[in-house]
Structure formats: structure tokens, C-alpha cells
């Protein structure tokens, strides 16, 4: 059972929530609840496609059957793993930013329990993807990851987030993103495996470089050094 009461919307209500969430998220990109609502109200066809892919994948089917949650009581052991492991890298990412796995907003606008779980899973693996691709959580890093998320799931919200995020860039940030990160993200999102069909929790003990190679992950290139000439 996914925590939080689900709300069933008709077409007009869904459109109204989507529009209100989009406007609110543009005004305040820190509103995770609005971004989540936007993703749910515009993403049903995308989540249905992801669900079908998961059903067609052995590892994806195991995820759907067991419905693991990425919450502190389930992934806390990652903080005790050897330094070279994927789990330890995830713990370092979370700890260095004072993030908690429990901070994700609940799913409210999915029609079925199965789709609600897929939407929740997509939300919760976000920090795993940050870890695997080596992306920071600043505006450029989040926008680059949204490009990869769009290629992986075709969620309209991801595309809207990239457009909204880049609109807030300074000229220097915009140049760095489109010359440096955007081309990399386009390649990285296509080259890697179907990331929604990976049972990450089973690979916490594996070496980070090994799982990156196994899943076709191309880590983000280092940020270009400023031109001092």
C-alpha cells in the first residue's frame, strides 16, 4: 500500500491540477509537492508504458511483486557498507546534502495501486540516479538529470522541468549546460539500461564502477575549468 490517500480526478480536474502545479512550480521550483503533482497529472501514459516494461523484465517483475520502498528503515544499512560500493556512494550522496530518503511526497493522483507504486518508485530512485551519474543537485545537475529521466520514461514533467530550469539560468550557466551537460545527458540517457527495471537495493554491496559498467552508465564529465586567459 502506498502511503497517502489517492484522489481520483476527472479530465477537467486533472487539467486544472496540472496547470496550477505547473505555474506554482515555475514560481517556486523548490515545491516538491507541486512538481510531484505535475508529474502525476500529466504522466499517466508514460507510467503505463514503464509499468508494461517492468512486467516484461525479470528484475522489473520482482520489483512489482515485492514493492520495495526506498525509505530510511529499508536502506539505512547502506551507511555501513564498504567505501567502494554503490550503497556507500548513495549514503555519501545523501549524507553530504543532509537528505533523507523519507522526504519524498506521497503519490495522490494515480488511478490504480499498481500505477501509484510505479510513480512512487520513479520518485524514489531519483537519488540513486544522481549517485550513479555523479550529478550535483544544483540547477544544472537537476536539469541534466531531467533530460535523462525524460529519455528513460518520456514523462512530460521532465521536459517541462528542463525548460523551466534553463529559463532560470544565467548566461554562463546556460552556455555551460547546452555546451557541456546537455549533449552528455542525451547520450547517457540512451546508452544506459532501462533504469526503472533495476532492483537497486539488491546491488548495494556491489562495486560502484562495476554496476556503472553493467548498466551502461556514463558518469557526468567534470565541470569545465573557468577560462583564465
Report pLDDT for 34: 58
Sign, CA dihedral 102-103-106-107, equals: negative
pLDDT band at 65 (very low <50, low <70, confident <90, very high): very high
Contact present, 156 and 43 (Cβ < 8 Å): yes
Q: Residue 207 pairs with which residues in a beta bridge?
A: 85
pLDDT band at 153 (very low <50, low <70, confident <90, very high): very high
Residue 49 lies in a domain: yes
Q: Which residues contact 164 (CB under 8 A, 6 or more apart)?
A: 25, 26, 29
Q: Which residues contact 138 (CB under 8 A, 6 or more apart)?
A: none
Half-sphere exposure of 94 (CA within 13 A, CB side): 24
pLDDT tens string 117-135: 999 999 999 999 999 999 9
| Cell output for 9 | 480526478
Task: Tell me the mean pLDDT in the region 221-225.
Answer: 79
Q: State the distance between the two ends of the chain, measured CA to CA, in whole angstroms.
A: 58
Residue 174 lies in a domain: yes
Domain extent, residue 150, equals 11-214
| Cell output for 12 | 477537467
Judged against a pLDDT cut of 50, whether residue 166 lies above it is answered with: yes
pTM of the predicted structure, to 2 decimals: 0.86
Residue 228 lies in a domain: no
Residues 192 and 188: their CA atoms lie apart, in Å, by 6
Closest CA to 221 of 151, 134, 139: 134
Lowest mean pLDDT among 29-43, 151-165, 185-199: 29-43
Residues 36 and 42: their CA atoms lie apart, in Å, by 10
pLDDT tens string 1-16: 455 555 565 454 545 5
Residue 44 lies in a domain: yes
| Cα dihedral 160→188→102→77 (10° resolution) | 180
Residue 116 lies in a domain: yes
Residue 182 lies in a domain: yes
Number of domains the chain is built from = 1
Residue 78 lies in a domain: yes
Residue 187 lies in a domain: yes
Contact present, 87 and 77 (Cβ < 8 Å): yes
pLDDT band at 22 (very low <50, low <70, confident <90, very high): very low
Amino acid at each position: 500500500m502506498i502511503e497517502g490517500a489517492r484522489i481520483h480526478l476527472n479530465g477537467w480536474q486533472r487539467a486544472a491540477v496540472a496547470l496550477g502545479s505547473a505555474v506554482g512550480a515555475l514560481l517556486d521550483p523548490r515545491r516538491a509537492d507541486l512538481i510531484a503533482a505535475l508529474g502525476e497529472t500529466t504522466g499517466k501514459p508514460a507510467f503505463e508504458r514503464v509499468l508494461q516494461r517492468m512486467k516484461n523484465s525479470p528484475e522489473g517483475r520482482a520489483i512489482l511483486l515485492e514493492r520495495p520502498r526506498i525509505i530510511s528503515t529499508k536502506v539505512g544499512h547502506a551507511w555501513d557498507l564498504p567505501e567502494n560500493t554503490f550503497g556507500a556512494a548513495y549514503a555519501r550522496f545523501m549524507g553530504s546534502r543532509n537528505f533523507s530518503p523519507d522526504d519524498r511526497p506521497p503519490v495522490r493522483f494515480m488511478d490504480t495501486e499498481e500505477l501509484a507504486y510505479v510513480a512512487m518508485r520513479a520518485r524514489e530512485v531519483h537519488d540513486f540516479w544522481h549517485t550513479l551519474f555523479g550529478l550535483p543537485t544544483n540547477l544544472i545537475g537537476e536539469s541534466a538529470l531531467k533530460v535523462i529521466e525524460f529519455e528513460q520514461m518520456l514523462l512530460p514533467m521532465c521536459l517541462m522541468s528542463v525548460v523551466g530550469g534553463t529559463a532560470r539560468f544565467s548566461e554562463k550557466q546556460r552556455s555551460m549546460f547546452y555546451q557541456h551537460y546537455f549533449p552528455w545527458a542525451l547520450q547517457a540517457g540512451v546508452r544506459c539500461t532501462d533504469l526503472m527495471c533495476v532492483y537497486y537495493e539488491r546491488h548495494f554491496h556491489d562495486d560502484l564502477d562495476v554496476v556503472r559498467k553493467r548498466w551502461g552508465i556514463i558518469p557526468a564529465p567534470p565541470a569545465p575549468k573557468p577560462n583564465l586567459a
